[in-house]
Amino acid sequence: MKSPLLPCSAIALLLAIAAPAARADETLARQRNCMACHTVERKVVGPAFKAVAAKYAGQKGMADVLARKIRQGGGGVWGPVPMPANPQVSEADAKQLAGWILGLPH
């Protein structure tokens, strides 16, 4: 009988590597004040990040579109309250945030 220890160890290692990245991106979202209007799980002023991930799942080029929306703002997609522009968020941070949001399970 083969030991399940090696596959379990590999899974644990992958989860340990992925978890800090997810926390780091949520930390970045907090640092860039995204959490003033959004949460991961539920709508506040803006949509839940998981709802954004679900809406745009599988659509090519959405990371760039979302990164641009983070920096430039916009409206009409999620209700009457427009997303304000966030020019203080660097392009690199906006891309990292967009990738994190779109990668959330939904």
d(CA 75, CA 52): 14
38: left (phi over 0), alpha (psi -120 to 50) or beta: beta
d(CA 3, CA 92): 43
| C-alpha torsion angle, residues 73, 28, 55, 42 (rounded to 10) | -100
> Binding site, residues?
34, 38, 83
> Binding site for heme c, residues?
34, 38, 83
Query: Residue holding tokens 């703002």?
Result: 73
Whole-structure pTM value? 0.77
- The enclosing H or E element of 53 equals helix 49-55
Domain 5-102 -> CATH class? mainly alpha
d(CA 71, CA 56): 18
Task: Give the pLDDT of the chain (106 residues) as one tens digit per residue.
Answer: 555 555 545 454 444 444 444 566 999 999 999 999 999 999 999 999 999 999 999 999 999 999 999 999 999 899 999 999 999 999 999 999 999 999 999 8
